[in-house]
Structure 1
């Protein structure tokens, strides 16, 4: 496994994107992968600075609503289990899993995100040493049947053009009876503007338009890509990937959560779902 190097001083300058144009257009899996690796490497510092307090150092949260795995128990018993976290970011979920007695591996496409995992580990007393792997979720560098469980909180699946390829890879590395739980932006959100206030409550686009959301530079090169799938598409992807869908969870917005995170907010969260969590078994 590839251990990420030590984190540079977070104050060091990191390249930032020039003003990008947001469009809806086709984007291949290769284009999406390259754009999103670059975007997360450039914006990992900003992301962790803005959302790190909410995510915690060793908390497993499924989405902006704040649903914790400790409360939800969607993975089932984790103690003594080998667990793969896909799109781990700074490995907050994997760190929580280790604290529950699991043997987690944290995988992410972004080098900079994994550097933040090292930063947190160095700053938290008695933090467990986690295996960190920098790799593409469509080509997992593990042998067949390496894990009992796999999880992904907003990791990988929203950003790939071929989610079935990811699901088949996850199935391959799971043992028989293994469970994969992943969360994504709720598909209905694609029909509404990405705004947390009242302006985000009116339908502005077709829910059935699967054209990806792309941010591109002046030369037309993608610098960020996100792919839309309807609820039906996601269910069919799960089945095509060789899984059985056990549950589909749509977390309600809790009264204690008053934060805004992009288009997520208490106003919208009390009216429409923002996250969909798919519980799948091999």
Structure 2
């Protein structure tokens, strides 16, 4: 795997970051995301690793499992398929795909997240590694693959919430998919943008405009972004899908299940029972015009 260089500028102390709303371009968003995930990958995997599993495909905090949902296709359809996971993190989803017989490629911007993918593979040992997963460190906005290289692409909360040009990412995904290939991705449900990121009752009152697309930014004392999240309305997401050359065939809004009692950040049974938290877009790549 070719490893790109890392930014030489020192990373800001996240405890000193200032939260603001301001415009952020593609380069600044990418730099901030790489730094944030490299810096926080260890804590993220420690906190969420048990929920995610080592080789499980979960679409979001509700716990919707691909083994049950079959959004990528019916049982048996993944065998032999060339599959690209975008924003793979520690590649837990890709490991599940490989166990189904897929030829999986896990792509992520973060070097440290992919090191966790190697850790999981090493921990499984030869008997548990199956066919293995190819790991690629790259930006989702410039996929290092030839046209029509994959039969299927997927992303579970990967890349799209953090990029300034999600439509550009979708165009890249369409380029590397064969006509008729499936593209399934999940993001935080756009309606959540209007509510505070709090798990309790304070998170149930509207605090901002759903239509305000100004990015959320955490920046250091010199004004450099260290974390960026971009908002798109539901209509924006649908338009991005269609203009990139996909046909939207399903939009899944998972309900919060009774078994899931976890609470973290703005996620909780209280909010999950009242507000949609995740949107999963199921798309088919249209033939080129």
User: 1:2·1:132 contact (CA, 8 Å) conserved in 2?
Assistant: no
Structure 2 residues not aligned, in runs of 5+: 5-10
Shift of 1:267: 0.4
Partner of 2:8: none
Shift of 1:17: 2.7
Partner of 1:153: 156
Please say if 1:111 is aligned against 2:114.
no
Task: Give the match's secondary structure for 1:124.
Answer: helix
Partner of 1:50: 47
1:156 and 1:15 mapped to 2: Cα distance? 21
1:239 and 1:30 mapped to 2: Cα distance? 25
**How many pairs does the alignment contain?**
273
Please say if 1:262 is aligned against 2:275.
no
Task: Give the match's secondary structure for 2:171.
Answer: helix
What is the RMSD of the two structures over their aligned residues, measured on CA atoms? 1.4
Task: Give the match's secondary structure for 2:282.
Answer: strand
Report matched runs for 1:56-67 at 5 Å.
Answer: 56-67=53-64
Please say if 1:98 is aligned against 2:105.
no
Report matched runs for 1:98-247 at 5 Å.
Answer: 98-125=98-125, 126-128=128-130, 129-247=132-250
Please say if 1:22 is aligned against 2:19.
yes
TM-score using structure 2 length: 0.92
Shift of 1:130: 1.4
Q: 2:37 aligns with which of 37, 40, 62?
A: 40
Task: Give the match's secondary structure for 1:281.
Answer: strand
Runs of 4+ aligned residues of structure 1 deviating over 6 Å after TM superposition are none
Task: Give the match's secondary structure for 1:167.
Answer: helix
Structure 1 residues not aligned, in runs of 5+: 5-13
Shift of 1:19: 1.5
